[in-house]
Structure 1
């Protein structure tokens, strides 16, 4: 059994923790199940995963959590729709007319049976193709959801950085404004200290007070 890790969390581990927890939220699972799943993959305790999620990772994925909760509500509505969409009517076997045209006592030819079986095979093939396309679509949707979670977290991070920059900018403007006022006051003070007097030749000269 591998020893339980206690080293620092990496960015990839945080991302894995977020993906698993969001998936469990989306699919109606519990966070404890998510912590246990991540713990097995990272050889960490579920308690350590829970502490990491609540103390750090959860704050980075507020938008992703809201999105996962909305998707969970939508998934709860889908079983009824899926049941309606995937309902298949019983296969109707059409009667094959006999060569003599007598429907009651006529016989079914081997060629007719072959044609019928070929038709069933084509329908089964089409159904299999549709299933493969559906799986591809689901995989694409999951990939796009991961990107959406990442972009939501990145958007929150950039918004916080933008707010910090705006605050720094306002502080800088305030400092520059105070410095400008101090320069103006110093200039006015110097002007008030200046006076002129007449020298022996009758010229005015500037004299500092």
Structure 2
């Protein structure tokens, strides 16, 4: 763990901070990595090194920073050119190998042409037979699916007919039930009226004009 120092920055500390930071800039690294390296060397935190660089040291090394950035750009350019050159050499080697391989194939082409054609025809025959077998299998499966579909359609029509018949029977039974309920309701009302009529006292008038109750 980096120690935390409370003393002031010395000229040597500033010089180390400047040298390490400029080196990281030249090499394409980050300033944060530079501050961490300086902190480990002089016993300060990376945050303290960063604050010191931005607030004080950076101003004294503006020209050096621009030179370091130019060196970094030149370094990156050289790396890129080296990569391109390596890629070109690799491509040339690949082309040379392919050309030599083609030449070798050309040398043996006549001697292997008949065998190659026979092998190709045998492979094609095997492939054709396999495709034919798969087609026949698919056709058989398709016929089975058509038969199954025909059977399901017939069953569906039968069930639809039974459902329609059941609905018709239900409506008939329901209408008969409603009719029966109406008849029973009328009979109940007639019974109640008859009982009420029988419970009422009945009278008749005698020869003298008087009312006489009939039991």
Range of TM-score over shorter length: 0.3 to 0.5
Using the size of structure 1 for normalisation, the TM-score is 0.42
| Higher radius of gyration, 1 or 2 | 2
